[in-house]
Amino acid sequence: MLNRNGVSASNSHFKTKLVEDPTVLMEFVTNDPKRRDSKNDFNTVAKIFKAAGKPKSVKYLRDGKEMDTVWEARRGCFFSAAYSDKSKGMQYVIHTDVCVPLTALAQCITETEQDFESNKRPCIICAHISDGNFHALIPYCDSKDFIPAKQLEQNMVTRALKLGGTVSGEHGIGIGKVQHLVSEHGQAHIDTHKKRLRWR
């Protein structure tokens, strides 16, 4: 999935011509040369999307240039984010993620977009959302600009935890999110884990 800003950033950087709306990309795999089963799967998914809302378009793309162009938007989202503001040139990017239960996904994404908008920063979401995991790419210019950008990531983590999620669905913890482990698991769990490590 790409949100509106994610599509807009791709159109600007890669010169793609996607409709600038939240966009879901799906792959259908088949061994049938006539693609009958994948087309049936697509038609089923299209009916679900149309029943759930009013998408501007639902398209079946075959192999080739059109499909490659659309996937370029998803594959190149890091570079789209880095060049999302032409007036600033190439920026640094915080590439972060959170994961929430699927029932809380729409709320988490909506509140995240609102938070970025109120802080006058583009919210570029580039995700594989079928497991509740979504990625935000946060451009920033320098060490001073990094502070408010990092705060937006902190807000994402806090929001995800309140919604029953986790601080990272794919990227891992590393040094960037290690301070959030206590918030997610509680001090007792962290202390127990540290003791186990000492016993080995």
186: how many CB neighbours lie within 10 A of its CB?
11
Structural fold of domain 4-198: Alpha-Beta Plaits (3.30.70)
Token look-up 């309140």 returns 162
Summarised one tens digit per residue, pLDDT across range 22-47 is 998 888 888 888 878 888 999 999 99
DSSP letters of 27-75?
----S-TT-HHHHHHHHHHHHHHHHHS--S------TTHHHHHHHHHHH
User: What are the residues whose beta carbons fall under 8 Å from the beta carbon of 3, sequence distance 6 or more?
Assistant: 22, 109, 113, 123, 124, 125
**Residue 197, number of CB atoms within 10 A of its CB:** 8
Residue 154 has pLDDT above 90, yes or no: yes
pLDDT at 200: 56
Question: pTM to 2 decimals?
Answer: 0.85
Domain ranges of the chain: 4-198
* Whole-number CA gyration radius for the chain: 19
Least trusted range by pLDDT, from 32-36, 90-94, 154-158 = 32-36
- 41, amino acid identity: D
What is the structure's pLDDT at 32? 85
H-run or E-run covering 94: strand 92-99
